[in-house]
Structure 1
Amino acid sequence: MAAKNASCLFCKIIEGSIPSHKVIETELTYAFLDIGPLSKGHTLVIPKHHGAKLHEIPDNYLADLLPTANKIIKALGPENYNLLQNNGRIAHQVI
């Protein structure tokens, strides 16, 4: 993992110190099932680079997020789905 933060929940999940149900992992991305799913198959797809907001993530990590999400969509085969990205408390980013 490139940049990480010792107090970040997602960084701890990526490094394995907090268990998760991994769906897929690439060199730059980690995807796992949400512990409080809003729907069947609710998956978090996160970059392996620490950043609280989208603009803090390097472009090469961002470029891997959608192809990874697309693999999950194709594997699960949902008829309908949402792709969301929340940045900050007012945008309902809660970890």
Structure 2
Amino acid sequence: MEAEEDKCVKFENELRPDIKQLIGFNEIRDFPTLVNKSRICDKDGKAKANYYKAVNEKRAKDLGRGKPYDKNGKKVNEGGSGGKGKGDENCFK
């Protein structure tokens, strides 16, 4: 029985910190149960990460749709201090 507990402790010490945090406080000393619970936590963590990744990608895609006009009613590509005005082409010889 002590050999199985040592095996469980060694297995827990090799887990990633996020899984170890979820599993460690349960003090599971049955090795097959510990392995199964660890797999479940890993699978759930990956599913959670994939969900939030998809949500963030969708949000970023929605934010990319800019309005063609700014708040002042001017087109984004027209006017302003960054564009070329009349006579700018002949500034240098």
Q: TM-score, normalised by structure 1?
A: 0.25
Give the structure-2-normalised TM-score.
0.25
Structure showing greater Rg = 2
More helix by share: 2
Q: Which has the higher strand share?
A: 1
Higher relative contact order (CA 8 A, sep 6+): 1
